[in-house]
Amino acid sequence: MSRQVQIQTNFSVGELDPLLRSRVDLQQYYNALQTANNVFIQPQGGIKRRDGLKYIAELPAAANPQNGVRLIPFEYSVNDSYMFAIVNQRVYIFKNNALITNINGSGNDYFAVSVLTSAVLSNLNFAQFGDTIIFAENDLQPLKIVRGGNDATWTASNITFSTTPLHAFTLSTSNPNATITPSATNGNITVTSNNSVFTADHVNQFINIISNFGRLKIIEYVSGTSVKCNVITTMFDTSGITVNNWELETGYEAAWSNSKGWPTSCTFHESRLYFGGAKSLTTNIWGSRVGDFFNFDVGEGLDDEALNAELTTDSLNSIQNVFSGRDLQIFTTGGEFYIPQSVNDPITPGNLMVKIATRNGIKPGVPVAGLDSGTIFIQRSGKSLNEMIFTDAELAYTTSTISLMSSHLLNDPIDIAMRRATSTEESDRLFIVNAGDGSLSVYSILRSQNVVAPSKFTTNGTFKAIGVDVDDTYTVINRNLQNLQATCTVTVSDYANIATGSTITLKKNDGTTVTFTSTTGTASTNQFKTETNNNTTAANLKTTIDGHSDFSATVSSAVVTVTRLDRGASNLTNVSSDATRLTTINFTGGQTSKYFVEVFDSSLHTDAAVYVSATTSTATAAHLPHTLVDILNDGNVEAQQTLNGSGVATLTRSTASNYEMGFPFIIDIKTMPVEPRLPSGSVKGFKKRIVQVNAEVFESKAMSINNQLVAFRQFGEDVLDSSVTAFTGQKQIGPLLGFDYEGSITISQSVPLALNILSLDYKVSLGQ
């Protein structure tokens, strides 16, 4: 047996994939954690308790948030930025962590937009410029929302395009038996025929002059012998063109329409509005005229005119996103593309070229996020987080897997958002919403140091959406509040044939049961007498159930309604031995699903939290009735309480200045299995015991190490009914007992206080 002193100076790898538990040959192993739940990894290498979540507002049930919700930022100016919470046909608008009310003087705290239905939210793309944000989804005619003169003035309308691009869905050509004569060789001209060959349906079709390669687009029908055209090329003269030297090319339709579908994605790039993909043209991309965002007329192919291209490869590349980065980037289900540009040259119809970068594919419905010069996206299967970045060494784009060492944290991702670092104490943070388990995967990224450190956030509920408004991170959380009492009914019929000893078994929230038994004699505890008629029998049953300490009951005719006094929605199944005459319905209710909009706040230590500056003997969180909460009274931890039906708690003493109250959340940190670097090799097969741990902490107030509480209050210095003084320095715990084959260190918190661990050094005893 020997003892070794080990030190983990940083945790900059974050939570490591369980598949790498045996990779003790990697340096990352020694800077990683088995579990990093509800902590941030700091750029300096430490681990810090995550920010609490401030309650902002509830999305009401009438808005149907359960059918889909999106958080989309809108930055109007340096001082005016907003977060849109979009649900079925409603847009809730937040500014400075508060809901804007009385939108457009309507008296509503939401902006009604009928076309933004739940059906389009999961694949909704957006692009913003100035006071306008544009939304695209292939079943939605492109929509714009425009900010008016103040925070509460907004308008929404479908985009009316001055010219939409055309596509030959059913191309056909003919040689009409006529001679045509153009009035000029360029611009908008009139074409006259000696026979009536034109119809109104020929608008947006093309005349091809074969003998000298002219091409005209019909823009207006005048008569059967006359149409107005836009000249696409000028390689012809104005002499009469005979029947054998021209064709009428038909079959062109608007690329986007209610019948063909609408664009899938959008972005602004170099003063053009780009649309990528459409319902009927999944591999096409279109760019507007420069500075004329709703005009997609290709004209004569001049530099400032509209452009379009199609991705033609040996695989299906359905466009899901377009992104304005170093170049215009195009993300498809089959690969990643870009339009190459030299440093000083913009994209024009003359130099438009689409090149493939990599062949990973993107997951439909999940946005992309820009990171420095790279772009982050979720791979098509949802199993990996990738970054596409241009490398000077190869003069090409490459894709690397950011989640190579942490793919276990991706569980059906549906939304992502990037928050930029605002100080040297934090890194860029990429938030990923996982539909599989309702968690957040959070990647702390410091690109200059090649640091990618993931952790996992959980809360009392499930994360549904994420969005970043400059430096405020908003989230929508579905919280299941066990704040109601479940009810059931028992219906009595054919009382005379209810056999003596028939039973009704009601289940409590904790899973235990209470049985009530019929009798024809004198009823004792938990018995009810069957007599006279159905109504009287039901009244007897009501009295018996109502007399039990776990239930209350009412009766109406032959129906008994039972209320379970314990609050909650577990174990709802009831059983009747005579389902015909004592018909028992299972308990229902007992749980309310609510959707809260909340924002991460570094000053808070709880979730769905309220912070109130006041001198008071009670604390109120009206949105959390009957809920178990953590309470901080002037920064001092009070015992957890279950709030009453109004969301009120009585404090043990009046506050001097403030209180915080909200859901507790769990801090769970666990190091990798200890693996001393010994000359003799690995010790994975040997038993180990962590004897003593020295934790270097910064401005921390509470923690437990291997289930032993670490003392932070300094007797003689701290007043016992005041908040704990933040401590910086080393905390020691030990001796610790117990050998095992892992030798890991666990760190947890049972109270909502600050925690910031910089490093761990520890003594480990090696056995046989």
Asked if residue 493 is part of any domain, the answer here is: yes
Do 611 and 630 fall within a single domain? Answer: yes
Do 674 and 660 fall within a single domain? Answer: no
- Residue 515: how many CB atoms within 10 A of its CB? 11
17 DSSP assignment: P
Do 497 and 570 fall within a single domain? Answer: yes
Boundary residue ending a domain (254, 286, 301)? 254
Closest CA to 537 of 485, 578, 487, 486: 578
636-691, pLDDT tens digit by residue? 999 999 998 889 999 999 999 999 999 999 999 999 998 877 766 677 777 888 88
Nearest-angstrom CA–CA distance, 403 and 409: 8
Question: Residue 65 corresponds to which tokens in the numbers above?
Answer: 């948030």
Asked if residue 721 is part of any domain, the answer here is: yes
Do 676 and 579 fall within a single domain? Answer: no
- Residue 192: how many CB atoms within 10 A of its CB? 17
458-508, pLDDT tens digit by residue? 999 999 999 999 999 999 999 988 778 899 999 999 999 999 999 999 999
Do 559 and 495 fall within a single domain? Answer: yes
Asked if residue 654 is part of any domain, the answer here is: yes
740 DSSP assignment: B
Nearest-angstrom CA–CA distance, 604 and 610: 9
Closest CA to 90 of 78, 100, 79: 100
Q: How confident is the model at residue 768 (pLDDT cuts 50, 70, 90)?
A: low
Q: What is the CATH number of the domain that holds 185?
A: 2.40.30
Do 676 and 659 fall within a single domain? Answer: no
Least confident of 117-131, 229-243, 412-426, 722-736: 229-243
SS3 for 418-430, per residue?
A: EECCCCCCCCEEE
Number of domains in the chain: 4
569-617, pLDDT tens digit by residue? 888 899 999 999 999 999 988 878 899 999 999 999 999 999 999 999 9
pLDDT for residue 318 is more than 60: yes
Asked if residue 64 is part of any domain, the answer here is: no
Do 524 and 578 fall within a single domain? Answer: yes
Nearest-angstrom CA–CA distance, 226 and 279: 35
Do 522 and 541 fall within a single domain? Answer: yes
368 close to 418: Cβ distance less than 8 angstroms = no
139 close to 115: Cβ distance less than 8 angstroms = no
Domain around 8: 2-50+669-766
The residue among 467 and 235 whose pLDDT is bigger is 467
Cα torsion 593, 595, 600, 602: sign: negative
460: three-class secondary structure by DSSP: coil
Using alpha carbons only, what angle is made at residue 40 by residues 38 and 46, rounded to the nearest 5 degrees?
Answer: 125
Closest CA to 596 of 575, 560, 622: 622
Do 578 and 622 fall within a single domain? Answer: no
β-bridge mates for residue 310, sequence order: 284
Asked if residue 247 is part of any domain, the answer here is: yes
Asked if residue 317 is part of any domain, the answer here is: no
Do 586 and 612 fall within a single domain? Answer: no
608-650, pLDDT tens digit by residue? 999 999 999 999 999 999 899 999 999 999 999 999 888 999 9
Determine the distance from the C-alpha atom of residue 361 to the mean position of all C-alpha atoms in its chain, rounded to a whole number: 20
Asked if residue 576 is part of any domain, the answer here is: yes
| pLDDT over 90, % of the chain | 78
Boundary residue ending a domain (254, 283, 305)? 254
What are residue 408's phi and psi, to 5 degrees?
-65, -20
Do 564 and 613 fall within a single domain? Answer: no
153 DSSP assignment: -
Do 510 and 555 fall within a single domain? Answer: yes
pLDDT (mean) for 81-97:
97
Nearest-angstrom CA–CA distance, 241 and 674: 88
Q: Residue 171 half-sphere exposure, CB side, CA atoms within 13 Å?
A: 7
Boundary residue ending a domain (254, 285, 306)? 254
Asked if residue 582 is part of any domain, the answer here is: yes
